[in-house]
Amino acid sequence: MKAIESLSSSFDAESILAGAIVGIVCALLFPWLWNTFGSQLSQLPPFVFLGVGLGLMCIVGGYFLWCWLRPAPASRSGARSQEVSRDVSVDEAGKLQLSSEGDGEANADPAFRDEKPTTTATSCVSPPPALAPAAVLPPVTASGPDPAPLPASVITPVPAAAPLPVIAPASEPAPGPFPVSLSLPKDLPTAKPAVDKPRLQEAPSDVDVNSAAIAGPGAAIRARLAAARKTSARTSAAKVEPEVLILYGSQTGNSMEIAKVINAEAVGRGIKSQVRTLNEFTVEKLSSVRVLIVVVSSTGDGDPPENAVRFCGDLRKRSHPATMLSGVRYTVVGLGDSNYTRYMAIPRLFTRRLPELGARCFTACIEADEVEGIDDKVEAWTADLWEPLKAALAEALSADARQAGSGAEQASATTIPSDKGDHIAGAGVANHALDGADTEVNLVGVPPLQPCSIHVEWIGGEPHFGADSVQVQVVDEAQNESGLAVGTGAQTHLVQVTDARCMTAEWSDRRVLHMEMDISGLGISYNPGDSIGIAPENDPTVVDSLINRLGLNGSARFEVTPGSADGPGRDGPVLPHVKCPCTVRDAFARYCDITAIPKKGLLRLLAECCSKPEEKRQLLLWSSRGGKEIFAKQVQEPRLSLLDLLQMHPSCSPPLAHLLDTLPPLTSRFYSVTSSQLMHPNHIQVAFSVVKMDLPGPGNRIFRGVCTNYFDRLLAHPGSTGMATDLSVSLLIFVKSGGDFHVPPDVSAPVIMIGPGTGVAPFRGFLEDRKAQLVGAINGQNENLGTVNREEEIPEKKGPWWLFFGCRKEEEDFLYQHELEAFEKDGTLDKLVLAFSRATDKKVYVQHRMEEYGEELAELILGRKNTHIFVCGDGVNMAKDVHAALCNILCKHGSMKEPMAIAHLSSMIKQKRYVRDIWS
């Protein structure tokens, strides 16, 4: 009786259905078979019928025996749960949960690993009885083509109340509807999976599962995964505090690169560290930091980078108490360009103010000059950083232990990492041997692989899924605003272009455009000497080529969330320069600098993403200290871009998250205002040279400036008349103050202006402003002229104004020729001196013409106490040559020795009477 009950309990719905189908088929086929073949069968020997009957009995008996011996459905479900018990379990409520054994690793999102794909074990995981059937989920893959979309008929909406299992990505794609795949290692008892373990937990209540389920196949499950990841990040952020905080302020990406390299090596040495922009912090927030490393540069003539403007303003405040940072140990890496007058102004602000607020320097600060090269000096400093850093950490943790009433020795012994022992894979500066290479050179000083600090979470669509990303539905569909003026606090304005024309000859290989924008009703106020900031966009053909090469969907939208390498939670956005939600195309077109010469961190990342050893070897060589000269010749000189490198290395397939985290931001470009609001109250005007140059190497490659060619594309290329054909263009701009580079308030002060090429642009504004003031003073008129001085004796007291302008040829690129000549004719400008470098066989530059008028200039500089000198243009050669010419003039015509002449010019710089607006 018990055997019968056991047998009956083994017959589940599947067995009964199968038996019924077999019985019906046999009952229908038997009469037909007998009528058709009965006469032939009756002639067969009896033993044939006996054999067939015995065979059928064996088949039926074997089937019933299998049904009796196999486990019941409940047992089978339990067995399946046990198969993945290392990763998941089922609690008493019937919900799938992450096992305690794998919590730490499942919640951690490791940096990119160069590992072999793991074996995929496919399992039809049955949900608990209380769960509604989930949508069929295509596996998310680390590489390969985008998965084919599922038809709507196979998608089952998921009730909001049903807790859903969240399955980690599998390693291989599979077509069509199929069971969920679990990515498991080949050696289950000992090996670690190359991708995250399955995360099975119930999502927080703020996730709209119904909306996610409707969005697409598997979207509800991915929504729960995203919510779980954010919750996990918030939880870990509350528990972990960094030991070292690395803050950077970067305009061109150099400071950011150095900060991330330091962070990567710190991680490799077992030190908890974070990288942030300076604008993400205030001075008050730094008071809780143990050890601080600042990497910051000066941009322009002593200005802070865009992502450090707010913090530098806060640091300058004298209201902070002198002991605010008394518990902070710091050091500063300063970057600058000695071509500028206020060299290292911002780094020296930190080295001056931090100790004034009580912070103590734990190792010597450095200043690296871009003119001399920054790499060697920074690398040598970084090599000597770690012993002082460990000592500073020990001191800080001992102080913490004393405050907590614990033993300082115990705190130091348990917390301070040692250089001995295992390092994180890929981190730390290393020497790589070129195994199997056709060269005997080893890779010396390969930079550490920088840990990725972000996750990419997709918003619907069909992106190329990588191991760093999941798909999640986000309700906010608002359009992205421009990333312009990120961190500057400047007010942006949308203006329309009302005039654009080419100011150079049609046959010239130079193109200089003049552009006018309407600012009426926007409340914009500007002065001559100011500049406007404009956020450019990368060339759309380059962007599309890059997206296609990466195998991404340009229209796919994503959010960026903190990754495991990002440490504690942050108050601001994870990537401040990327406005999310964002499309892949916008990220590469508007927010990331994809045409810049790749830095070592990017080369190191690309090397790690190559599947072919020879391609990886080449990229490692370029990134190494030993391959510096090869990098300069093969990468820097031909100005290779990210797209160039990817095309040269077909096996390289970097994840999107790592690219976004490594690429420098596409920063605003600044152009001097070439008008005066006294003359143009409703317009603002600028001039710029369209940058275009041939590059060395094969392929007839051409380098194009990002912003000026962006303008050129928008204005539809001026035609034969020199006028742009499309003026229905709007731009987002903001005004940046020129600081000391402005018209002197004293109209009797002599002014000497030197501006070759587009360096003449601000001086056109100077002259318009001066003319407006003089006209207003003479006529007593103030309409559309703002506030002016109306002293009748001003024209008699006005100081002499000189302008030195240089270009190639008068008929080729004499910018604003008619206006400048008119200013000289009506007395606004007292002397216009021209230098044409290609009019004759002998090249003549502005410094040569200055020395021709040396006696008059020496009289203006030495004979008047209020003379101002303004220089605008190229800072690499022109500004140095002009400065040398001024020294020679003072020595030759002012009876000065060279040290005295240099001291006199330095005194004028301190008095803000010798001001330069130059660029490299």
pLDDT at 699: 74
Strand partners, 801: 751
Per-residue pLDDT tens for 733-786? 999 998 899 999 888 999 999 999 999 999 999 999 999 988 765 555 444 444
Task: Report the distance separating Cα 597 and Cα 639, nearest Å.
Answer: 6
pLDDT at 419: 38
Instruction: Report which secondary-structure segment, H or E, holds 656.
Output: helix 656-662
Amino acid letter for position 562: P
Q: Is 428 helix (H, G, I), strand (E, B) or coil?
A: coil
* Residues listed for the chain: 920
- Between 83 and 271, the more confident residue is 271
pLDDT at 889: 97
pLDDT at 563: 74
Task: Report the distance separating Cα 820 and Cα 817, nearest Å.
Answer: 5
The confidence band for 260, taking pLDDT boundaries of 50, 70 and 90, is very high
Per-residue pLDDT tens for 282-336? 999 999 899 999 999 998 778 899 899 999 999 999 999 999 999 999 999 999 9
Task: Report the distance separating Cα 318 and Cα 916, nearest Å.
Answer: 28
Q: How high is the mean pLDDT of the chain?
A: 75
DSSP codes joined into one string, 402-440: HHHT--HHHHHHHHS--SSS---TT-S-EEE--TT-S--
182: pLDDT strictly greater than 60 = no
Task: Report the distance separating Cα 693 and Cα 704, nearest Å.
Answer: 7
- CB 823, CB 805: distance < 8 Å: no
Kindly list the structural domains of the chain, giving each domain's residue range(s) and its CATH number in brackets, ordered by start: 2-70 (no CATH), 87-113+134-146+155-172+196-239 (no CATH), 241-425 (3.40.50.360), 740-919 (3.40.50.80)
207: pLDDT strictly greater than 90 = no
Q: Single out the residue of 196, 169, 164 nearest to residue 182, CA to CA.
A: 169
Backbone angles phi, psi at 52, to 5 degrees: -65, -40
Task: Report the distance separating Cα 358 and Cα 286, nearest Å.
Answer: 12
Q: Is the peptide bond before 536 cis (omega within 30 degrees of 0)?
A: no
Amino acid letter for position 87: D
717: pLDDT strictly greater than 90 = no
Per-residue pLDDT tens for 558-573? 999 987 655 544 566 7
pLDDT at 213: 38
- As a three-state string, the secondary structure of 258-297 is HHHHHHHHHHHCCCCEEEEEHHHCCCCHHHHCCEEEEEEE
pLDDT at 329: 96
The confidence band for 69, taking pLDDT boundaries of 50, 70 and 90, is low
- CB 494, CB 732: distance < 8 Å: yes
Per-residue pLDDT tens for 617-654? 999 999 998 898 999 999 999 999 999 999 999 999 99
Tabulate helix, strand, coil % of the chain (nearest 5).
40, 15, 45
- CB 552, CB 530: distance < 8 Å: no
Q: Is the peptide bond before 718 cis (omega within 30 degrees of 0)?
A: no
The label of the residue with tokens 């058709």 reads 36
pLDDT at 53: 74
- CB atoms near residue 596 (< 10 Å): 17
How far does Cα 908 stand from its chain's mean position?
A: 40
Q: Single out the residue of 600, 596, 583 nearest to residue 544, CA to CA.
A: 583
Amino acid letter for position 747: V
Per-residue pLDDT tens for 380-439? 999 999 999 999 999 888 877 766 654 434 433 333 343 333 333 444 445 554 444 444
Task: Report the distance separating Cα 618 and Cα 610, nearest Å.
Answer: 10
Task: Report the distance separating Cα 542 and Cα 551, nearest Å.
Answer: 14
- CB 763, CB 757: distance < 8 Å: no
Per-residue pLDDT tens for 895-918? 999 999 999 999 999 999 999 998
